[in-house]
Structure formats: C-alpha cells, structure tokens
A and B are shown apart, each in its own frame.
Chain A
Amino acid sequence: MNSAELTLGKHVFITAEAAQPTPPEAGPRSALRISLLTLAGVLLLWWGVCASGLIAPLFLPPPQAIVAKLWLTATRGYMDATLWQHLGASAFRIVTALVAAVLFAVPVGIAIGLSRTARGVLDPLIEFYRPIPPLAYLPLIVIWFGIGELSKVLLIYLAIFAPIAIATATGVRNVDPTRLRAAQSLGASRWQLIRHVIVPSAQPDILTGVRIGLGTGWSTLVAAELVAATRGLGFMVQSAAQFLVTDVVVLGIIVIAVIAFTLELGLRALQRRLVPWQGQSR
C-alpha cells in the first residue's frame, strides 16, 4: 500500500490509498436456485413414493399421471368442459370481482383515510365482516341473490374489497406530512392535495392491497363455485372429489396454485413498474 506523510506543526497527516472494494455477495440468483432445487426434490420424493407402491394411486397419483391428465382435460375436458373453459370461467369471476372491488374499495379507503366521519361509519362495518370466513356468509348471499353468477362474483368481491379498502386508508393516513405542507406552500387547494399528493402517495399501499386482495379472492374461488356452478376450477376440483377422481383433484389444485403464483409475480412486476421509487433511498 502506498502512503505519504505530511507534517504540520505537531500534527502528522498520513495519506493512504483506498482499500480495494470487496466483491459483492451472491445475490437473489442463488436463492432462486435453492427454490428450484427444493421443487425438484419434492417432485422426486413424490415420484419415488408412488413408484415404490407405498401409497395407492387413489390417495396420491404419481406425477406422470397428473401430466397425462393435464393433456386429457386440456384437449377432451372434464365434466363437459375443457380445462381452458373451467379456467376461463374462474378467471372471469375473479377479474369481474377485482375490477368492481378496485372501483369501490379505493374511493372508500380514501374517504376512510381522509374523513373522521367516514372512518366512524365505514371502519366498523369492514372490520365486522372481514374476519368472517366466506363460507359462513355464503348461505346468506345465496338466499339474497340466488344461485347465479352474481352470488359467486359477490362472494369473491367481498373477499377482495376489505384488504384494498384497508390498505388504501392506511396509505392515505401515512402520507408524509412534509409532502402535504410542501404542496400547501405551493398554493394547493384541498382537492388538489388529494388529487396530486395524497392519492399518488398512497399508490404503493393500494397496489399492496390489490395483491393481498387478489390472494384472498382467489382462495375464496372454491367456496364461490360450490354454489350450482357447472364450470370453474373450484367446481372441477369439487366434483372430481365427489367421484374420487384424485388425479383431477391434484391437477386442479396445482393449476390454481400456479395461476395464483403467476398473478402474484405479475402484480409485483406491475408494482415495480408503477412505483419504482418504493424501496429506493426514500
């Protein structure tokens, strides 16, 4: 290491070259590799247990049977509809419920976050129904709204609504007060504050609410499709279970999981695109 000495009165100044930067730690790629290895391990274990004959195919069909069933349901179908038609029916219900929930829950969340009156009125209502399992109020919805599409979409809608409204309200309440003052001292009116500062500031929280909502909505799907459905992934799993067609049950579960995971990844990508500053310096 090069160094130089400089003396000034009693004080000695020693200048040295900067140390070499250390190489960065192994990043998220290695985490992904571990996840993939885990997945491969589970598949291998599954295959091994089935191949050894320890568990009868009625209880756990081997992976290759699921793949064969995937091909069969995709081309010829199960219960008068192909896998795609089941999937389409479920996707339609989820998307309709999600769009409706975003349209209503975001304004409601903003109102709760901004106004004490709105909070007093709406907060207890949301907190009252939110912890109730959807299956518990499903009968009431059927009595009120019948057994058509409306009841199914409504059930999913209710599951998505609460997380989005609560997350939006939190986002609105947590807006940096300095940001509000900055806008006020630039002459912003109350309406301009909401439109130009509060809502955009709450955007990361709203998106997190959508992510959580979509998760709970998707998991309500099976409950929703218990009611007189003739199509849908939840219906497919339910009816297959009644006839002990285990491979379709497992296939349905895997398809539901894969789609939920894909949606989650998609929303995370959307979040990175829409609010790239989140997780940055401030």
Chain B
Amino acid sequence: MSSLIVDRVSVRYPGAQGTALSDVSLTVPPESLVVALGPSGCGKTTLLNLIAGFIKPTSGTITLDAEPVTGPGAERGVVFQDDALLPWLNVGDNVAFGLRLRGVRQREREARAREVLQLVDLADHAGHKVWQLSGGMRQRVGLARALAANPQVLLMDEPFGALDAFIREQMQALLLRIWRETGKRVFLITHDIEEAVFLATDLVLMSPGPGRIVERLQLDFGRRHAAGEPVRSIKAEPDFIAVREHVLARVFAHRTNRAEGAIA
C-alpha cells in the first residue's frame, strides 16, 4: 500500500537526558491530513524532522511508498513556521526554486510557478519582493514553493504559529481547499488545539517525557469544511466544542500528572 509509514521509531539525542521520541508508530495514508498535537517537548518537531530526513532515528524505520527515508528529498515538501524564503529572489523565483535546482527550463518553471501561485491566491504577485509581503502572504509563498516541486507528501511545521488569529483562520481554510484540490497527503504539527481539531482527519496527541503518542482520534471537521460548510458554523457547533474540550483535558491531564509527580 502506498503510504508514509513511521514504524516503531525512537530518538535519543547524544548527550541529552531522556528520550526525545519513544517507540512512535504512525501512518499517513493517501488523502489524509494527519495532525500531531502536543505541548513543547513532546517530540512533535523531532517527528517531523525525522520524516523530512533532517535527522536520523536511533531505532525504527520510516518509509514513503515502500522507499526508506534516508535524508531530505524533494518527494517530501516542507513548509516551515519561519517561512525560510530567499529574500534575494522574487516571489515567482522562490516558488520555482526547487525546479531550478532540478534544472527545469525557465519557461516551464515560470508556468508552474504561475499555476501554484494561483492556487494560493497570489497569482498577480509573482514579481513582488518577498520581504515586502505580510506574514500570511509569505506563508502562502512557502506553501506554494513546497507544492511547486509536486511532493508526495506535504510536511508542515507549525505553519501558522506566527500569524494572528484572523489570518490563521484564513490560512486553515486555504490549506483545506488546497488539500482537497490537489489530493496531497499532509502531515502537520501544531500546539494550537482548535487548529488541530479543525484540520485533522487523523489527530495524534503527543506527550512529553519521553515523547510519545498517547491518543489517536479520527475527525471529519476539516473534510466537512472542504466540502463547503462554513468555518464559523463548524467551530461553533457542540460536537466541535466537545472534541476540543476532550483534547484540551487530555493535554492538560498529562501536564498535571507530571506536576504532581514532580511534587511527590
């Protein structure tokens, strides 16, 4: 089966106390939007860096469509919290950067950049300087850059964490629309509970000390929004609020347990 599979992966950083990630298994099947949620120190960033190939697991394996992951690669596109755009290139050239590295001809690159910029509602911004854009726009350029390389899976590292609440909600809606239109699998990490519950088809709750998965939920709020239901009516409905409060309680439960453990 073609999936992104994380199989019993553990990570111990040399010199560091404890285990960053302990025996984590995870599957990102086609058409899914998997969200890992947890407080800082729960290992969600480590997990994303593993899948992206930036770090190697101490034990366990990661495979994408039966191919083992051994390092960073263009089939796994990454969107960063800090957009990591290249300020000396304009918006269009940033989006086409991956294609340029592959030696794609300029006309083809420009056509592809136009296509993806259209997708993120920045069609008429190709010639703009990236350092003159707002935070939300830069984030959309980062998303377009990852999409332009046509990856098998999109990895998103707290992509909306630095944005204000209004822009963040717009970006969530945009992500769901792109997810539906392109059919790309997405693996996203966040510490924003509402964001996680709203976006995820598969929600993975993580907990620190050692970093591990403590609960998995299957949700459909994101799918429903992608199918046309308005954001506010979904986020205001009792079902959504109930799930949100459950997740909140779970995340806090581990916090209090740890605090009590520390006292005892």
- How distant is the Cα of A187 from the Cα of B87 in the complex, in angstroms? 19
Residues A181 and B72 in contact in the complex (CB < 8 Å), given A186-B98, A186-B145, A186-B149: yes
In the complex formed, the residue of A with least CB distance to B130 is A277
Which residues of chain A are near B132, meaning CB under 8 Å? 280
- Beta-carbon contacts under 8 Å, A92-109 to B: none
What distance in Å separates the Cβ of B167 from its nearest Cβ neighbour in chain A? 15
Residues A187 and B78 in contact in the complex (CB < 8 Å), given A176-B84, A181-B72: no
- How distant is the Cα of A179 from the Cα of B84 in the complex, in angstroms? 5
Is the beta-carbon distance between A187 and B131 smaller than 8 angstroms? no
- Beta-carbon contacts under 8 Å, B240-258 to A: none
In the complex formed, the residue of B with least CB distance to A187 is B74
Is the beta-carbon distance between B73 and A185 smaller than 8 angstroms? yes
Which residues of chain A are near B145, meaning CB under 8 Å? 182, 186
- How distant is the Cα of A184 from the Cα of B54 in the complex, in angstroms? 9
Is the beta-carbon distance between B80 and A178 smaller than 8 angstroms? yes
What distance in Å separates the Cβ of A14 from its nearest Cβ neighbour in chain B? 21
Which residues of chain B are near A192, meaning CB under 8 Å? 101
Is the beta-carbon distance between A181 and B84 smaller than 8 angstroms? yes
Partner pick for B131 among A181, A182, A185, A281, CB 8 A cutoff: A281
Which residues of chain B are near A277, meaning CB under 8 Å? 87-88, 129-131
A208 contacts partner chain B, Cβ-Cβ < 8 Å: no
In the complex formed, the residue of B with least CB distance to A193 is B101
In the complex formed, the residue of A with least CB distance to B88 is A200
Contact with B along A170-190 (1 / 0, CB 8 A): 000000101101111111110
- How distant is the Cα of A189 from the Cα of B53 in the complex, in angstroms? 14
B76 contacts partner chain A, Cβ-Cβ < 8 Å: yes
Is the beta-carbon distance between A181 and B87 smaller than 8 angstroms? no
Partner pick for A282 among B53, B129, B131, B149, CB 8 A cutoff: B131
- How distant is the Cα of A188 from the Cα of B145 in the complex, in angstroms? 14
- How distant is the Cα of A178 from the Cα of B142 in the complex, in angstroms? 12
Partner pick for B98 among A187, A275, A280, CB 8 A cutoff: A187
A267 contacts partner chain B, Cβ-Cβ < 8 Å: no
Contact with A along B135-165 (1 / 0, CB 8 A): 0000000100110010000010000000000
- Beta-carbon contacts under 8 Å, A147-197 to B: 176, 178-179, 181-189, 192, 196-197
- Beta-carbon contacts under 8 Å, B195-222 to A: none
Can you list 12 residue pairs at the A/B interface with Cβ under 8 Å? A176-B82, A178-B82, A179-B84, A181-B78, A185-B146, A186-B97, A186-B101, A192-B101, A196-B101, A203-B88, A277-B87, A277-B131
- Show the binding face of A for B, using Cβ within 8 Å: 176, 178-179, 181-189, 192, 196-197, 200, 203, 275-277, 280-282
7 closest Cβ pairs, A-B complex:
A186-B98, A187-B74, A277-B87, A184-B72, A277-B131, A182-B84, A178-B84
